[in-house]
Chain A
Amino acid sequence: MNSSQLFGITTLTYLLSSAFYIGLLIFKNKKIGLIGLGLAIFGATALTAALGLRWYESYQLGIGHAPLTNMYESLVFFAWCTTLFYIFLEFKFKIRVVGAFVMPFAFTAMAYASFAKGINQQINPLIPALQSNWLIAHVMTCFIGYAAFAVAGGLGLMYLLKKSAVNRGLAENSLTGGLPELKIIDDLTHKTIIFGFMWLTAGIITGAVWANEAWGTYWSWDPKETWSIITWFVYALTLHARFTRGWSGSRIAWLAIIGFISVFFTYFGVNFLLSGLHSYGSS
């Protein structure tokens, strides 16, 4: 067994898990949801093993480094964080259907990493600029943040769906009937954003410290840095709108979605559409 087989198994498991969670949403059968959860846990376990194995393999190649150094590895790590964060939420808040809005993100990340053209799956040695412990700290903190924002985006979407169903007076047995109450989704979105905001802040800070160690400038307004601060502004705005102006509900749900689009652009758009220091990510 090598790590790429395990990554394959994870991708498949995540697909099945997403399917079962969506099944739960549609049929509201508790057993289906339980299978979805079981698959998510199994997939996360396989992915943990795969990441560990890939790490080990890199040492066998004589270029040992944590599996956090290129687009492929970061996508996989994103999927890993998202699932673990979601499983934690499910156990803490007992909201199983949310999986229907989260597991597809994790699956998409895995599938994209595995199948998209131009994503290099090889374990490569690190160029001098990437040989820093700050790289590990930076990627980990950023991606924990991104994972939380992905979940918050999913929750925002869920809120809007439920809200529109409630507004149209749809009956309890309709598709959205199984979703948690609006107030609960709203509260969870908020908590998730707070969690993500802490980690994004830490991610930007560790990135700045690293840049200062490697290049002598902690901030150079390169497009990726700029987009990360734009994202940070969006979430700071969301938090302030809630704390100080009492925003909640649909507005916060929209902001959670806009925030995630900004995260997405920071992560992908910048690599593919703009140029800058972080272009290693596109390899």
Chain B
Amino acid sequence: MATKSKNPVWVFFASVKLALFLLITLASTSIIGTVIQQNQPAGQYVQQYGENMAGLIQMLSIDDMYNSWWFLALLGIFSLNLIICSLERIPNVIRIIRKDNLTTNPERLHKMRLHKSIQLSGSPAAAQQAVTDYLAGCGWKTKSRDKENGPLLFSQKGGWTRFGVYIVHVSILTILLGAVIGSSNFAQKVLHKPDFAFKGSIMVPESQETDFIFAFQSGDKIDLGFTIRCNYFTIEYYDNGMPKTYLSKVSVLEDGRPVPLKNGETVHNLEVNRPLTYKGITFYQSSYQPYSDFLVNITNTNSGEGHTHNSIISEGKQIEFADDNISFGIINQETRGEAVQRVKIWFTDNQGDPSIFWLNNDQEAVIERPSGEYTLRVKQLYATGLQVTKDPGVWWVYTGCGMMLFGLFVAFFMSHRKIWAHVYEDDGQPTVIFAGSANKNKVGFEKIFTALVDGFKESKKV
């Protein structure tokens, strides 16, 4: 370390002053992006801030500042600072933890902030045994070494907690690394593998499927490597009209066949907060689009095997199913907003008058006809809007988050505690002096120390 610390670049990056400067800079520059709206079309900045300011905004990429070269550079320097500052200090921590505390001069115990002497009776050897046993009984396993005027005992706990700070610092790096691994920019521009990590979206109409999506920003097509189908989409509302659930029933197809998903079934109920992950790609319910077409589902229940026709139809159009000799049309509809509430059906089997009736959206009707019984369901066609993400870095990020909480706990609430005991003769009387120190939470340790020593005194009286 000694040679390296002469290198001025190293010294610069090892400094805590730089860390403070970077923290201030990151905090204050981050404000800019919360005041100036991000990722707007260039024209809007001109309109809002005028030509000159807009030019400056473009030049410094302030319209996308958290991905700008200078902000990323700040984060890079921040990481370098963390790494080098920690590397600079860790050898010292190891030295402290490895230190042979039995080389301590027993005289020093009398000068430590926490110390207490107790006179004992009996032989010095018995006294040493009593102290050793007592400390071991309290969970302080001691080592001992003979000094000129009697043995010195030492025990310590929590040396490893001195690494708490570094667990925190490594966790920050782990999170940043995870962010890089999961970044679509990194996948495109550095790895040249856009399907390594991406964020995009796709609209899939009910009963349809797709095996690609469109990446955000670039709009590039990205192949999924499998097919996803939307079987069904619906919105449920509360009584007061607020949306309660957006639900898509989706299936994953490989070679045209639905595959079992994590829940063991081939259909996943995709809702907000209930995404579907398949082969590292995650689908989120994010939007929807109502169409003016309808999904029609007619079953001829007489023909035993349940002869079913599925079709898509728009209002005012007529469809015929020649094999069953039936015709069907939608002649009117009632809507609230864009959502169809009910539709007026025209249905005939070409025997007698046609059946004409209103039917609620997505509800089943049974129609008795001269030729037999039919069930019918008509549903307004929707497309579900899926956000699609592949983020191989997210587990790094989560691991980093866990490490950070753990590390903060260790750094703030745990400490490295040491206890010495020296057994010596004072005026021919065996005497023990206890001393202790902790690197943090000294008040708490003082209580532990006092209780420990008092406990020993008690045990000797008995």
Using CB atoms and an 8 Å cutoff, list the residues of chain A in contact with chain B.
63, 124-125, 127-129, 131-132, 134, 194, 197-198, 201-202, 205, 208-209, 212-219, 221, 223, 226-227, 229-230, 233-234, 236-237, 240-241, 244-245, 270, 274-275
Asked if A216 and B23 make an inter-chain contact with CB atoms under 8 angstroms apart, the answer reads no
| Residue B246 is within 8 A (CB to CB) of chain A in the complex | yes
**Partner pick for B23 among A128, A132, A219, A240, CB 8 A cutoff:** A240
B312 to chain A, nearest CB (A): 27
* B20 A198 Cβ-Cβ under 8 A: no
User: Which single member of A132, A216, A227, A237 contacts B20 (CB below 8 Å)?
Assistant: A237
The yes or no answer to B90 lying at the interface (CB within 8 A) is no
Q: Are A209 and B23 in contact (CB under 8 A)?
A: no
Minimum-distance CB pairs A-B, first 7:
A128-B272, A216-B389, A233-B27, A223-B34, A237-B23, A244-B16, A132-B273
Q: Does B275 contact A (CB under 8 A)?
A: yes
A143 to B17, CA, bound (A): 31
A159 to chain B, nearest CB (A): 20
Q: Which of these, A198, A212, A233, A234, contacts B394 with CB under 8 Å?
A: A212
Name the one of A128, A197, A213, A223 contacting B243, with C-beta atoms under 8 angstroms: A128
Please determine whether A125 and B238 come into contact, CB atoms closer than 8 angstroms: yes
Bound CA span A245–B23, Å:
14
In the bound complex, CA of A227 to CA of B33 (Å): 10
| Complex interface residues of chain B between 1 and 43 (CB less than 8 A to chain A) | 16-17, 19-20, 23-24, 26-27, 30-31, 33-35, 37-38
**Number of contacts between A and B (CB, 8 Å)?**
103
Having A125-B240, A198-B412, one finds 13 other A-B pairs with CB under 8 Å, namely A125-B242, A129-B272, A132-B273, A134-B273, A201-B404, A215-B387, A221-B66, A226-B31, A233-B26, A233-B30, A240-B19, A241-B20, A275-B37
Contact B404 A237 (CB under 8 A): no
Closest to A274 in B: B34
Q: Pick the contact of A205 from B23, B66, B401 — CB < 8 Å?
A: B401
Q: Which of B16, B284, B285, B389 contacts A240 (CB 8 A)?
A: B16
Determine whether the beta carbon of A215 is less than 8 Å from that of B286.
yes
Report the minimum CB–CB distance from B29 to chain A (whole Å): 10
Distance of A122 Cα from B394 Cα, bound (Å): 37
Contacts of A218 in B (CB 8 A): 394, 397
A221 to B24, CA, bound (A): 18
Verify A226–B30 contact, CB threshold 8 A.
yes
B282 at the interface (CB under 8 A from A): yes
Complex contacts, B17 vs chain A, CB 8 Å: 245
Q: Which residue of A lies closest to B34 (CB)?
A: A223
Assess the A230–B405 pair: CB atoms within 8 A.
no
Beta-carbon contact of B387 and A216 below 8 Å: yes
Cβ-defined contact, B273 with A214, below 8 A: yes
- Docked pose: A179 CA to B388 CA in angstroms: 58
Chain B residues, Cβ within 8 Å of A201:
404-405, 408
Does B66 lie within 8 Å of A230, measured CB to CB?
Answer: no
Q: Which residues of A contact B398 (CB under 8 A)?
A: 209
State the Cβ distance, A25 to closest chain B Cβ, in Å. 27
- Give the residues in chain B near A227, CB-CB below 8 Å: 34
CB neighbours of A233 from chain B (8 A): 23-24, 26-27, 30
Minimum distance in angstroms from B162 CB to a CB of chain A:
13
- Could you say which residues of chain A place their CB within 8 Å of the CB of B34? 223, 226-227, 270, 274
A125 CA / B240 CA spacing, docked (Å): 9
B359 interface hit (Cβ, 8 Å): no
Residues of chain B contacted by A213 (CB below 8 angstroms): 273, 275
For B31, give the chain A residue with the smallest CB separation.
A230
- On chain B, the residues within 8 Å of A219 by CB distance are 179
**B408 cross-chain contacts in A, Cβ below 8 A:** 197-198, 201
Residue in chain B with minimal CB distance to A221: B66
**B284 close to A215 (CB less than 8 A):** yes
CA distance A213 to B389 in the complex (A): 11
Interchain CB contact under 8 A, A237 and B24: yes
State in angstroms the CA–CA spacing of A138 and B374 once bound together.
Answer: 52
Residues of A within 8 A of B412 (CB): 194, 198
Kindly state whether residue B271 has any CB partner on chain A within 8 Å: yes
* B244 proximal to A (CB < 8 A): yes
Of all chain A residues, the one with the shortest Cβ separation from B400 is A205
Residues of A within 8 A of B240 (CB): 124-125
Residue contact A240 to B20, C-beta cutoff 8 Å:
yes
The answer to whether B30 touches A229 (Cβ under 8 A) is yes
In the assembled complex, B199 has its CB within 8 A of some CB on chain A: yes
